[in-house]
Structure 1
Amino acid sequence: MTYTINRIIKDTDFEDVDKRARKALSDYGFGVLTEIDVRATMKKKLNKNMPAYLILGACNPGMAWEAIGVEARVGAMLPCNVILREVPEGVEVSAVDPVVSMSAIDNDELKPIAAKVRDMLSEVVQAI
């Protein structure tokens, strides 16, 4: 079972995909709450080099409100992470699949919310 929604974008650079990802997230009601530049962190902390790798912590406030309303501790699994990483074929975009991650929570009321967020993130990934 895959736990991410993936797409490889070719014929452009990392910075362009980053801009497009942020716009697509915004267009679908997600804000970027956190940002981790993994490449810079690995260089600084371990003196290791790696291709560009960015983690965007995206949140749709309305969907988060619904999820927290039916499962108060769901915040431990938020926000929805979207990664951008350089690969030989271009830039891979991967968004967490909320249905898979939320399957760890035994609450049937959460399932339709996770499914809606998965659909939204799938549209975001395709829109980039």
Structure 2
Amino acid sequence: VVARTRAALAERGFGVLTEIDVQATMKAKLDAEMDPYLILGACNPRMAFRALGAEPRIGAMLPCNVILRGLPDGAVEVSAVDPVASMAAVENADLAEVAGKVREMLREAVEDV
């Protein structure tokens, strides 16, 4: 599922900048057990460039997180941050347009997995 998710993101111009294995981190830091949980920090450079041009401080909201969460039945749930919701507090029409396009691209990637 991780490889398919990465491929679906790449097909839409996203690269994965970060990969956080939350399960391993919680085990190492807290000796706590949890189901598999992976966070991929995905960024589409063209869209990030447009977003930063519209609102220079938006870098605090980048990259877009995509979550792969292991379920008790062995399935894996894939979900992504909603950039429109994340950036709603910033009243900027140009940024809202970019966020809407990124939302659609992420939705398509998740659906393809």
Match of 1:60 in 2: 44
**TM-score normalised over the length of structure 1:** 0.85
Match of 2:78 in 1: 93
Do 2:39 and 2:68's aligned partners in 1 also have CA atoms closer than 8 Å? Answer: yes
Larger RCO: 1 or 2 (CA < 8 Å, sep 6+): 1
Residue identity in the other structure for 1:21: T
Bigger fraction of residues in strand: 1
% identity of equivalent residues? 63
Do 2:35 and 2:72's aligned partners in 1 also have CA atoms closer than 8 Å? Answer: no
Q: CA deviation at 1:104?
A: 1.6
RMSD of equivalent CA atoms? 0.7
Structure 1, unaligned runs of 5 or more: 1-16
- Identify which of 114, 117, 120 aligns with 2:102: 117
- Report the number of matched residues: 112
Partner deviation per Cα, 1:70-115 (whole Å, 9 max, x = no partner) = 1000000000000001013411101001000010212122111000
Structure 2, unaligned runs of 5 or more: none
Residue identity in the other structure for 1:96: V
For residues 105 and 42 of structure 1, what CA distance do their matches in structure 2 show? 33
- Identify which of 5, 16, 24 aligns with 2:8: 24
Residue identity in the other structure for 1:58: A
Residue identity in the other structure for 1:45: K
For residues 99 and 35 of structure 1, what CA distance do their matches in structure 2 show? 23
Match of 1:34 in 2: 18
Residue identity in the other structure for 2:83: P
